[in-house]
Structure formats: structure tokens, C-alpha cells
Structure 1
């Protein structure tokens, strides 16, 4: 190998044996690998467009038909713009800017068609930007899996500022996402299935299993001990003191209904989630509460819905379904609204007209292109490599 210097004379370089950084003499690294360059002639393009049209048009109409078969009931029960509130279905749920008012109201739906299980219960927020970068990053992932005190990573702790400490106590969990948790409480109080049995709303199984297993956990050092009797959960109890735990009174487990005393690490200097949201979060769950786990998976759009529960019973046509709401979450401060949604689902999820329309819209577009190109090619065909279509740059 040689090179040419500024005077136009060749200057010898290292011999091949001494060129240590020379790439191996293989086809892929020396760019000698064989390649296939397809030429899409008019006939192939026409066939391609027509095939896509044949696939997408019926598929789009099928998806739209499945979406139309979904029964969805929607009711706005609190909003900055009061004209949006569905007064025909809801009693007065407005709380203005009175946080944690715990105002009780009811929402009643009537099933327009038979609703096959599972029937999903969602709450919806509008004009709430969970996708804001500063908001979505404001969390401590190490704290959420159970690390406390010195075991917390300072990098993640800094992301929580200024909601890392409040009133001289460390927030656990910290950050904007955790401390704007949706704390309206929703309860199903009326309605029967096709067999006349009372409808029941399940609030378990709403969060991703991977989130529960790998992203959220009780604090390191957390302890719980079963109390001698279930009655310990009510009235005066010494179960906590007898075990030397930090709790003032025991808590009842949702899983087995038993009464447990509990102890949190650094309880004197830390404000835990059950203290911030006592009506929503059990001290035996902390950040593993499924409603909280669902909330922590932030959304990409300012109007979104999150799963609150589900009904595994068939609801017959004409059945009245009644919910009781304990309204605590303020939406007036960000000019939004909150709504309750009861809906069935299909293999593509909930009601969505856009997917089917997009599919058959593209299908008709491809069909039009295929027909136009076919007509053009029929009357004025172009033969590949015909010299009259080649234009060379003049010297």
C-alpha cells in the first residue's frame, strides 16, 4: 500500500504484516458481501397495492364491527366546566377546590344491552399531563422497591425534590407522581346479574403482575404480627404495644380478614403512604396497593383512563348499576374533569373507532392507487430499461 503526498509523489507506508489495525479480509468487513437489489416494476406494485387492499378493507370493517359491539357507559361527575357534568346519572359530586372533602354521591347506569364479563370499571381524568418530563421522572425507584434511609440512591432521591421531605418528615414514597395519587373511592352498591345475584366489583388483578413482583415492595425492616383475635382491630387494643410495634392500632387484612399489628422502619421521621391516604391505602399494603401501582404507570396523553376494578358477572339488558363515590380528588385546579366508565372489552381492548377506520381507510387508498396504476399501465405501459425513458446529463 502507498499514499500520495502533497508533491504528488508516492510515499511508502507500513507493510501489510505490520498493519495491526487492518480489518480482516472477510466479505462482510471488506464490503464484498453479495446483495439483492429488487426492482419494483409496475406490475409488482399494482399487485402489491391490490393485495394490501384485499387484506385491510375486510379487516378494518371487522375491527370496527367488534368495536361497535362494545357497550360503554360514561358519566362525568366533577369538572371545572359544570356544563359537562352528567346530571341525569349523577347526584352532586362537585367539590371545587376542597381537597379530601370525602363528599359522597351516587352514579347510576342502565345497561342498554347485555354486558358480557369481564365488565371493566375505569376512572377518567382530563387535562392532566402525566407525560410532562419533570412530573413523570419525579419518583425514587429504589424507595418504591423498599429501600429506606441510607440505602436510598441519592440520584433517585434528588429527582423527588421538592417533594422529598414535607413537614420535617421524609415522604415514602416521594415525588410528584406518588403524591398526586387519585384518591376518589368508588364502590358498587346496586345491580344484579342475569341470575339475580348481587353484582360484585373486584379490585384485585388490576395491576401488571411484573410491576407487583419487581417494581414495588414493602420497606426493608417492615414487620407484621397477627393479633390474638379479630376484635383487636376495633376499639381499644394493646396488640401493637404488646409486640413493641410502631402502630397506634392494628389493621385488618383484605386477604384473610385477620387483624395484624405492624411496624415500619424509621416511623418517627417518615411519612408513609397509608398516612397520606388513610382511606385508600392499608398500612399492610403500602406501595403494593394495586390502585397505587396502576396510578404509578404514567400515561402519554392528557386525557386518560385507569382501571379501578372489574365485574365477572353478566349484566342483563335494562339492569340498573349504581356506584357510590367518595369524592376527594380536585380537578378544578387544572381545569379538568373526572368521569366513571363501565365498559365491556374485546380482543383489541375497549371501544376505539379509529383502529377500524384507519385499516379500511388505508385499504381503500391502496385500492385506488392499484386501480389508477393499473389503468395507466394498461394504456401507457413502461418497459423496464427502455432507452427512451433514460435521460443522461449533457456534458
Structure 2
């Protein structure tokens, strides 16, 4: 009987020990007893916060707009101008094999300091379409061991019974208009090195992957690739395959590394072979300088000015209300049960 009682007591002690072991270790963090900042939004604090936002945002907005306006751009739409006047069917003309040279004249209205970035701009081209974006095989682009891996590249996965490298609609539709520039009959060299993202060259396109069976199908989509140059060196392809999010986009073609002076006349010899006519697209050539903020973009400056102006307006409204009809902080008379003693 005593043994049973002892066993029972021991069992109770062990249960008590187990219950105590489940108790969390005390700390101010687990018990939410750490010091905390509990700001009280007094009228002065709110007005001060809005004024601080105003003081910070408005100068940034003004500086951003000034930097954007300092960017010099020359934009020339050439897709409609480079069609011979006797051509009525633009799609049939552009699909005819062979080069289609076109000469354009650009006038420099304001001094352009080097480097001058050369872009091509496409309108109404939806690179963000789901099927288009997915039509590639990153494993194939990265490693020569996966040259036969064409999953996801349909319908441009194979041609003549052989896999295509690089496969997919993105590579197949590679932009292939070319540009050359001259000033006073002197050629302006376009530097096409390092126009793509370094991370893309180093990690997404292999140095041992070479184009194979590319543009050998029955329907040619765009530009061709040098089969003796690895994909990591084909920077036009790398730039093109970083798909754009919007239907109107620019992609870097190269850099002119000499200054262009006001009044200069730039002769452009281009080859108009890329088909944007079948989907009513537009092609534009863009020459642009940059500032510390980048290219021309007024949105950032306007956004800062809008937020700063709105903050200033609210600060003035709250100040006026605070001065005209002040209210004591923590006044208990504003409590609902004090304003309506009957509970109504």
C-alpha cells in the first residue's frame, strides 16, 4: 500500500515536472515587455511630419525634372518613310528577301555630350505576351550540354529535324535593322560592346554555347546569328531577349563616343528589314544623352512634386483647423459616454 502510494507520488511529481518543463523561459521579448515607442499624433506632430515631407520631396522633384530636361534626344520614326512611294503592299515589300537601304538625316538642335546612346524603339510590340515570354529554354542558353533541350520553345524548337539553338520565339524574332552614322562625310563609330547586362552575359548565356540551325526554317522571323560566336558575345541577342514589360519600349543598339555639336547634320544609313508592318507597329531611331538620373523621364520628378505639394496642402489645412478650432489633447468630454450620458 505504501509502495503504491510512493509510486503514485512519484508519478505526480514527474507529471508536475513535465508540466513545468512546458512553461516558456521568461524573457521580456516573449512576454512583450520590451520598451516600445508609442508616439501620440498631436496636431503639431502631424503638421511637422507633413512639412518635413514637403521640405524633402519638393527639392528632389525639382532636381529630377531639371535633370530630365537636360537630356537631349533626337527621335526619328522611319518605318513609314523608308517604304518606296510606289509600294502599296508594305507587308509584301518587307517580306521580300534582300536588303532595303534607307537614308535619313538628323539635325542636332542642342549640343550632345558623349556618350550618346543609340536606341531602337518599337511601338505596339507585345513582348510581354505570356506565350512569347515563355518561348525560350534557359538551360539551353546557359550550357552547351543542354543544346538539345528545347522544351518550352514550341513552335520554334526544331527545323529540318534538328534542334534550334537558341530556340523559341524571342530569339526567332530578333530585331535586325542596322544603322550607321556619318557627320560631314566622316563615319561615326558605334560601340556595341557592353550594351547588355553583365549578369546576363556571365550567368544566362554560356560562353560555350554556339548558334546552330538558327533561322533555317520555312519562315524567317528576324536577324541571323554568327555560328562561330558564342551566345555570351552576341550582345544584340542578349539585349533583345530581356523582354520589355510594355508594348512601347526601347533597346540599346550602341554608343557614339564623340560629342555632337549644335547644328551638326547626321546622315544615317539604315537597313529597313524588320517587319513591324504586319501588326501596325512603329520603328523609331533614338539618339539620347544621359544625366545623373539616367535618361529622359519626367514621371519621377512629377511624382515627387505631387507628393510634396499634397503634403504642403495638408499641413496648411491642419494648421488652419488647429488655429481656428483648437482642441485640448485627451479631453474626456469628447468620449461618447460623456457626450451621450443616456447611452443614446
Q: How does the TM-score come out when normalised to structure 2?
A: 0.82
> Aligned ranges for residues 258-269 of structure 1 at < 5 Å?
none
* Alignment-derived partner of residue 56 in structure 1: 57
Is 1:283 paired with 2:227?
A: yes
Structure 1 runs not aligned, ≥5 long: 1-13, 79-84, 223-263, 265-269
Q: 2: CA distance between counterparts of 1:373 and 1:362?
A: 16
Is 1:382 paired with 2:319?
A: no
Is 1:119 paired with 2:130?
A: no
Is 1:187 paired with 2:180?
A: yes
Q: CA deviation at 1:183?
A: 1.2
Distance 1:178-1:387 versus aligned 2 partners, 3 A rule:
same
Q: 1: CA distance between counterparts of 2:46 and 2:277?
A: 55
Q: CA deviation at 1:283?
A: 2.4
Q: 2: CA distance between counterparts of 1:273 and 1:209?
A: 26
* Alignment-derived partner of residue 154 in structure 2: 161
Structure with max Cα Rg: 2
* Alignment-derived partner of residue 134 in structure 2: 137
> What's the C-alpha RMSD, in Å, of the aligned pairs?
3.0
> Aligned ranges for residues 62-77 of structure 1 at < 5 Å?
62-77=63-78
Distance 1:19-1:280 versus aligned 2 partners, 3 A rule:
farther
Distance 1:306-1:274 versus aligned 2 partners, 3 A rule:
farther
Candidates 285, 294, 308, aligned match of 1:363: 308
Is 1:176 paired with 2:118?
A: no
Distance 1:208-1:18 versus aligned 2 partners, 3 A rule:
same
Q: CA deviation at 1:120?
A: 0.7
Distance 1:159-1:33 versus aligned 2 partners, 3 A rule:
farther
Is 1:313 paired with 2:258?
A: yes
Distance 1:103-1:43 versus aligned 2 partners, 3 A rule:
same
Candidates 298, 303, 315, aligned match of 2:243: 298
Q: 2: CA distance between counterparts of 1:177 and 1:206?
A: 18
Instruction: Select between 141-150 and 328-337 the one with higher mean Cα deviation.
Output: 141-150
Distance 1:19-1:121 versus aligned 2 partners, 3 A rule:
farther
Q: 2: CA distance between counterparts of 1:285 and 1:330?
A: 25
Distance 1:175-1:374 versus aligned 2 partners, 3 A rule:
same
Q: 2: CA distance between counterparts of 1:197 and 1:17?
A: 90
Q: 2:173–2:223: 8 Å Cα contact kept in structure 1?
A: no
Q: 2: CA distance between counterparts of 1:219 and 1:277?
A: 25
Q: 2: CA distance between counterparts of 1:207 and 1:150?
A: 23
SS in 1 for 2:188: coil
Q: 1:23–1:30: 8 Å Cα contact kept in structure 2?
A: no
Q: 1: CA distance between counterparts of 2:186 and 2:278?
A: 41
Distance 1:116-1:46 versus aligned 2 partners, 3 A rule:
same
Q: Deviations over 1:124-148 (max 9, x none)?
A: 0111111222221221111111334
* Alignment-derived partner of residue 18 in structure 2: 17
Distance 1:323-1:286 versus aligned 2 partners, 3 A rule:
farther
SS in 2 for 1:96: helix
Q: 2:172–2:222: 8 Å Cα contact kept in structure 1?
A: no
Is 1:201 paired with 2:190?
A: yes
Q: 2: CA distance between counterparts of 1:43 and 1:28?
A: 32
Candidates 263, 271, 280, aligned match of 2:213: 271
Q: Deviations over 1:176-197 (max 9, x none)?
A: 2111111112222x116xxx96
Q: CA deviation at 1:204?
A: 1.0
